[in-house]
Amino acid sequence: MNLRAQVVVVGGGVTGTGIAWHLASAGVRDVVLVERDEVAAGSASKAVGGVRAQFSGGLDIRLGARSLEAFARFGEETGYDIGLHRVGHLCSTCAAPAAGRVRTRTPRITTR
């Protein structure tokens, strides 16, 4: 048997499936995903994660915001609900010197 494809992606984990998805979304018509087991059978499919939004650098802040936007659209684009819940995050300190350091190192972030 002689099979051909424009692009072959090896590995059906989060990286491989993401690459295949983005290639197909960009118009590549002949994408083949090869996986030795079941797609999403590895550890990434079992992970509970979060998206960090507190950074000191502008690029990291924009990347986190862009990731949240992509996760929010994921169900519409793929038909699969990933169960995104925006619950927030709170850091607290009891010692006054530590609280002062936290206050001076935390950038102000605004959303539009």
b/e string for 55-73 if b means 16 or more Cβ within 10 A? eeeeeebeebeeeeeeeee
Q: Is the pTM of this model over 0.75?
A: no
pLDDT tens for residues 38-84? 988 888 777 777 777 777 788 988 888 888 899 899 999 989 888 88
- What is the Cα–Cα distance from 93 to 71, expressed in whole angstroms? 31
